[in-house]
Amino acid sequence: MASFSRKLKRKNLVLQRKAFMKDFKRSMANFKKQVKCSQCGRYPNEGENIDEWRINKSSESIDLTCTDCYNKNESEGKSEV
């Protein structure tokens, strides 16, 4: 009887993990739709890693700056990050 209850608990954990991952992926997809560069307004390209984007700290909200904009600012000597 103990093995049966253990099997049910394990199956329940697997189902909870699958539900969590499904919800997590859905929420991340919605989050990515909201991300855009605060300077040029560009959305991330398909498959682009937004971890490389920079956070604009001069604003009270979270503003992201794409790699093109902050590379351009650094080359001009106007690094705002």
The whole model's pTM is what? 0.47
Write the DSSP symbol of residue 59.
Answer: S
- Asked if 38 and 63 touch (Cβ cutoff 8 Å), the reply is yes
Amino acid at 16: Q
pLDDT value at residue 4? 86
Q: Above pLDDT 70, what percent of the chain?
A: 89
pLDDT value at residue 79? 46
Write the DSSP symbol of residue 78.
Answer: -
- φ and ψ of 72, to 5 deg: -65, -45
* pLDDT bracket for residue 54 (50, 70, 90): confident
